[in-house]
Amino acid sequence: MKIIRFIIIMSIVCLQLFAQKKENEKKELTSAKKKNEIIFSNDQDTKSYLLMLENALNRVSESYVDSVNESELIKAGIKGMMKPLDPYTKFLSGSSKDRLDMLRTGKYGGVGIQIGLRRDTLTVLTPFEDSPAYTEGIHSGDQIIMIDSVDTKGMTLKDASSLIKGELGSMVKLTIFRPSEKKKIIFELTRANIIVKHVPYWGVDDDGIGYVRITKFSKNTAKDFSLAINDIKDEEIKGLVIDLRSNSGGLLSNAINILDKLTDRGLNLLNTKGRIKKSNRKMNSRRVPAISNNIPVAVLINKSSASASEIVSGVLQDLDRAVIVGTKSFGKGLVQSMYNLNDTTTLKVTTAKYYTPSGRLIQKEDYLENGFLTDGLDKKDSLFYTRGGRKVQGGGGITPDVEVKQLKLPNYVQGLWRAGVFLAFAADYVPRHNIKAPIIITDKIYKDFEKFLLEYEINYSLPGEKDLARLKTSIKSNDDSKKDKFNLLGKIFFWKKADHKTNSLTRKIDRYYYKKRANQYWDQENIRWIKNGLLREMSLVANGEKEKIKVSLYEDNVYNEAKNILLDLNRYHDIFIPKKDELKMESVPN
């Protein structure tokens, strides 16, 4: 059956390609412009395999033991045909195509809320500004208990999202429970075009450092980035931080448009290379930069910064225009093109590799072991040089100029976040006490949160607890606990002996962990992060997502390190000076 499915998979796409090929065959053979277009190397072999695929589909349709949905077989076949290729070449339909369309259009039909699961309850994380949900008064922390007539208990986020989204102008009824009022409220909302905001926050702090967060490169990203830069530069900033952490990429054109605003006119920004002529492009900056070259720039990245994020950070690094701070990025150096097969399906096909100004390809080799997609950068010297002569590495992502790892939250605080208690408390506490931004976490708020937590069981493990559990298991299974195996009573009560032995050996350790757990809420390191969690979620409820992002930077060690670099111009400029062992050696004739 797997072989049949594979054959069917190959048939659908190949049949479409074959039909298209026949239609354009004469043009491809006679037009000089189409020399590089894809043509089959052996036309006779192609015809025979296409016929084989058609026969296989017919046989399955006619002879399979149960009725066959041919359209589903065809779609499954196309998906299967993509599997031997790279993981970014995909057949998109349904929700996956909807996400792509949202990226390309920068909008979708819905009511404008971000939702999540908190203690298995569908919860509004934030309503988007100027959306139907925002206008009608839905709040962060509201619990959605019904969508139209459907109970949301046990519902997945994917299913909930598909029910809430819909055709423009249509109605959806949300029944919510508001914790602060202890009552149900029904909202009848008209679905509208929701403009996606992938530049959710920008601002300038008290030290004059501008900050812009970019979460995705969609249709509106470059336009919103321009708005951010225009607002920020009016305040005579001392430096600019661009946050691309956990930004998985998006539209190449938007990445180039953003680079246009940060680099001098005429500089090479990016080159793409593929099999066909139209995939080979050279992109240069076309405009005067939106901010002065005298303003220092830092870009934040992490292991989840990919694709377009790596283009922006890699180009600015190559041109010595920005200091890159954080951890090594993901490593995606490929470009995809979109081909609509019909109104509901799209092929996303990898058609080119991209190269930064220094010549770097940053693609990592993680799925094909022949080095093709990485140009063999894993097997040979892959050092390149920035505009000012610094060495930079090709392949495997962008290596930051200053490596800073994000501080890890203590285990107890991680447990609090997983339980969703920060938002649950904020959604109840902020409205009842009429708290306004800017939020200050007072001693009373901190003590009230401790009382609030009595209703919750927080699951977490302290360092060493898992090892202790394994030790106890090992002791129980030890042969010593079975030394009386020939004694009947020993056989019957051996578990008591094992438990007694275990308890006696680990009693002091157990007592230590009992005391440690009892004092987690008032542990000095935990207090810092608990207050930060309260500040973030209470700010969200009081004044929206922008306020939450703003206060989240207070305890962000990666951002604070970048800020310190920008405020110390000597340190900033020293980063761009090549080290002695980095100087590019040029041969001199003798």
Mind telling me the catalytic residues?
Answer: 307, 318, 332
Helix, strand, or coil (residue 175): strand
Strand partners, 250: 217
| ∠ Cα 100 105 110 (to 5°) | 85
Structure tokens at 554: 């207070």
Q: Using CA atoms in the order 428, 432, 438, 441, what is the torsion angle rounded to 10 degrees?
A: -70
Distance, in Å, from the CA atom of 6 to the CA atom of 76, rounded to the nearest integer, reads 9
Burial pattern 236-272, b for ≥16 Cβ within 10 A else e, equals ebbbbbbbbbbbbbbbbebbbbbbbbbbeeebbbbbb
The pair phi, psi for residue 299, each rounded to 5°, is -120, 130
Structure tokens at 486: 């020939």
Per DSSP, helices labelled H in 234-370 are: 252-260, 308-318
Structure tokens at 528: 């810092």
Residue 250 per-residue DSSP state: B
Burial pattern 13-29, b for ≥16 Cβ within 10 A else e, equals bbbeebeebeeeeeeee
Strand partners, 349: 337
- Largest pairwise CA distance in the chain: 95
Whether omega before 438 lies within 30 degrees of 0, making that bond cis, reads yes
Closest CA to 248 of 197, 320, 198: 198
Distance, in Å, from the CA atom of 21 to the CA atom of 345, rounded to the nearest integer, reads 20
Strand pairing category for 192-195 and 239-243: unpaired
Q: Within 13 A of 470's CA, how many CA atoms are on the CB side?
A: 4
DSSP 30-74: H-GGGTTS---S-HHHHHHHHHHHHHHHHHHHHH-SS---HHHHH
Structure tokens at 33: 């412009």
Closest CA to 325 of 396, 271, 405, 421: 405
* 186: CB partners within 8 A, 6+ apart: 173, 174, 175, 176
